[in-house]
Amino acid sequence: MLPLGTPLPSFELDVVSGTNRGIDDSHSPPKKISSSTLPTKPLLLMVLCAHCPFVKHIEAELTRLDQDYSDSVQLLAIASNSLITHPQDGPEQLAAQAKQQSWRFPYLLDPNQSLAKALQAACTPDFFLFAPSPKGQQELRYRGQLDNSRPGNNVAVTGSDLRAALDAVLNGQEVCIDQQASIGCNIKWHPGQEPTWFG
């Protein structure tokens, strides 16, 4: 897992059309979002996709997170799955997913998988919470699971782990360092381009 305190990786990614209401309410919202132009508030990166049953299992809770935290935290969904092997995670499917769930946060396309690799993301879903340091630099405070719920384990989806981290950051408290790795479907890397640390 990426070490806590790691600075936010630099990125500039295309926005899936129709999913950028959470960062720009203008009549001509940006087609790209870069790390250098984000608001100076906590940032939650969520590595998601359209087809994964683990993501589908928590979609309603992501909607609740959006409703509960979007005023004080910038949420961004990141789609990094290879469209060579999984075209079902393409922009049209992502836009349909966001619309169906009433998500207001932008969905960003990571076609060369550079951001997923920089985050050492392993699966969908995977969560990375950054917050400004005293020097103003975004630093990693939490990486791991939403909660203990999984498809078929009969544990309610509450978002407890991630919500605790979000609340700590927003209240100026330290986030518990006992963080459980997320579990889900492996990120679908481009054939022959799996990261060296993967698997």
**pLDDT one-digit tens code per residue, 140-167:** 999 999 999 999 999 999 999 999 999 9
Chain centroid to Cα 189, Å, comes to 17
DSSP conformational letter for 161? H
Task: Return the domain boundaries, the chain.
Answer: 12-186
pTM of this prediction? 0.94
Span 88-113, mean pLDDT?
A: 95
Cα 132 to Cα 74, 135, 140: the distances in Å are 12, 7, 9
Cα 118 to Cα 21, 70, 76, 181: the distances in Å are 26, 24, 16, 16
**How confident is the model at residue 180, as a pLDDT?**
97
Domain covering 12-186, topology:
Glutaredoxin (3.40.30)
Span 41-60, mean pLDDT?
A: 97
Within 13 A of 22's CA, how many CA atoms are on the CB side?
A: 30
The whole-chain average pLDDT of the chain stands at: 92
What does the alpha-carbon distance between residue 158 and residue 64 come to, in Å, rounded to a whole number?
Answer: 10
Q: Element (H or E) spanning 176, and its range?
A: none
Read off the pLDDT band of 196 (50, 70, 90): confident
